[in-house]
Amino acid sequence: MLFGGRYIVLLMGIFSIYVGLIYNDCFSRSFNIFGSAWSFHGSFNDIGESVMLDPANITQNSGYTYVLGIDPVWQLSSNKITFLNTYKMKISLIFGLTHMVFGVFVSLWNKINFKKTFDIAFEFIPQILFLLCTFCYLIFLIFFKWIMYSAGNGIWSEHCAPSLLITFINMMLMKQDKPDPKLEALCQGKETYMFDGQRELQQVLLIFGLLMIPVMFFGKPIKILVSPFLRRSNYSSIGDETETQVEQENFGDILIFQAIHTIEYVLGSVSHTASYLRLWALSLAHSQLSEVLWNMVMKSGFGREMKHSVMLFFVFNFWAMATVIILVLMEGLSAFLHTLRLHWVEFMSKFYGGQGTAFVPFSFQTYLRESYLADKEFLKS
């Protein structure tokens, strides 16, 4: 199995290194390569067990953004899981929507290759516009919130940043939350919407996205229904009644087929987007397992006494073995199965139809057997 899936395993390894750089996570530890933006100049003996760092305080936060990945100071924070959970959830949605949009564009390649211009107009364009007007707009809001909001006072402070989940739900329900009176003076009405005209923009995007559903549903069947009448206007065919009856039966089948595919795409866009959140769950489980192995196993071998140097030799062997068995083999197999699911269902459902010619490996034995049977039938006749 490993040999057959060696290319997928290789790509998974490369991508795990890439995501590890983004999360700044290697064996549950972070690397301070570019220097942290956070600093504390007091004495830890005077403050007790913990200290709260203020991002708006220039003596504690320089305002410098870590070049690649998460700032290593989050490794020491008590709310690390809360912060990383929201970050990983958004990253999973970004990867998922990028993957699905790429799959829809692969279907465009197929339609261009087979010269299906009508399918481009009434399948590809409505499908991509439906995604852009709904879930890709959510991705835009994620980046907008990351870029525009920061610590401080004013309408772009963290106090005025609206919840993306509530904003997207209100967009789907076409409703508006009441402004918070406590934040009215600080946020100046921006605590519910991020920019002027956002409510009107969301209504237009939602209506436009919903209008793409009947286009996907009725576009192709209407074209198939109208095309025979356009051909008949140029010539008179033989057996019009028989052809009309066959076309009506075919039209009914096509209408049912198109309805199934339209419902599958619309509902699938929702379920497939949620399905990519498995990346978030896998990352959370992997990080927690690696942290448990480090704190419960590897950390016990650290110390200044001589016994710890001897203990570290045995502890490292056990930690390395547990890391390979649990994190590499078991978690690797789990990630392998999940990535197969995401590629086969969420990605390939956007363009793969399975209507080609099945691949049959060349075999002399099969070729000779078919030739023998053909000659035998010929001699009988």
pLDDT by residue (tens digit) across 206-260? 999 999 999 999 988 888 777 777 666 655 554 555 555 545 557 778 888 889 9
Which pLDDT value is given to residue 124?
Answer: 94
Which pLDDT value is given to residue 178?
Answer: 81
Provide φ and ψ at 26, rounded to 5°.
-140, 110
Name the residue ranges covered by the structural domains of the chain.
Answer: 116-276
pLDDT digits (tens, 9 = 90+) for 60-98: 777 778 888 888 888 888 888 888 899 999 999 999 999
Tell me what the pLDDT averaged over the chain comes to: 85
pLDDT digits (tens, 9 = 90+) for 267-312: 999 999 999 999 999 998 888 899 899 988 898 888 888 888 888 8
Among 19, 187, 217, 37, smallest CA distance to 122 is for 217
Among 257, 253, 220, smallest CA distance to 117 is for 220
Dist CA 194 CA 141 (whole Å): 9
Among 83, 125, 163, 134, smallest CA distance to 273 is for 134
Which pLDDT value is given to residue 306?
Answer: 83
Which pLDDT value is given to residue 89?
Answer: 93
**Structural contact between residues 67 and 34, judged by C-beta atoms closer than 8 angstroms:** yes
pTM: predicted TM-score of the whole model, two decimal places: 0.83
**pLDDT more than 90, % of the chain:** 33
In terms of DSSP H, where are the helices of 52-197? 80-113, 117-119, 125-133, 135-148, 164-173, 184-187
Which pLDDT value is given to residue 234?
Answer: 58
Neighbours of 363 (CB within 10 A): 10
pLDDT digits (tens, 9 = 90+) for 318-353: 999 999 998 888 888 888 899 889 999 999 999 988
